[in-house]
């Protein structure tokens, strides 16, 4: 909470608003458990937290052929109008396979809800596994000297790598 509040240290007014969107009625009830944990943590805070949007678990669930799927996979916010709307993102940021490889290497499953994954999921996993095959020890090849990879968006909104020394 302190890191979030640090963004508004100099503001004289305003309130902390929370919008929870995601999860659905998955068969292992992972979404329900996570939602409960999040709401419990918010409840423990001394600060006033205003829950503005709650579109989770059963409220974000649709059923098709006896399988449950989220209605909304992603959202975006118009920072000028504060409008929240459903969104999907073509640009997944730089080094997508590297970031996904890190996530895949950390657990036993490729997905918590394989029947409910979006259309790009299989291609994403395939490219990530090919990346892992090509770079079995990415820390040595991609991070020489244990240095971070740095990127910025160019004037066209595309990610470009920043060379050390730029």
| The pLDDT value given to residue 166 | 47
How does pLDDT run across 70-108, given as a tens digit for each residue? 999 889 988 899 899 999 877 778 887 777 776 666 666
Residue in 43, 73, 70, 42 with CA at minimum distance from that of residue 57: 70
The answer to whether 36 and 20 are in contact (CB under 8 A) is no
């Amino acid at each position: 909470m302190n890191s979030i509040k640090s963004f508004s240290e100099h503001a004289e007014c305003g309130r902390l608003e929370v919008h929870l969107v995601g999860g659905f009625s998955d068969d292992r009830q992972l979404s329900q458990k996570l939602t409960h944990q999040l709401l419990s943590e918010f409840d423990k805070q001394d600060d006033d937290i205003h829950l503005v949007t709650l579109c989770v678990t059963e409220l974000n669930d649709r059923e098709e052929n006896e399988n449950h799927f989220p209605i909304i996979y992603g959202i975006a916010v118009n920072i000028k109008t504060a409008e929240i709307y459903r969104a999907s993102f073509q640009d997944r940021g730089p080094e997508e396979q590297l970031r996904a490889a890190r996530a895949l290497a950390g657990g036993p499953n490729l997905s918590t809800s394989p029947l409910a994954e979006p259309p790009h999921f299989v291609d994403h996993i395939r490219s990530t596994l090919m990346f892992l095959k090509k770079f079995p020890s990415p820390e040595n090849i991609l991070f020489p000297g244990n240095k971070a990879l740095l990127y910025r968006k160019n004037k066209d909104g595309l990610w470009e790598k920043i060379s050390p020394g730029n």
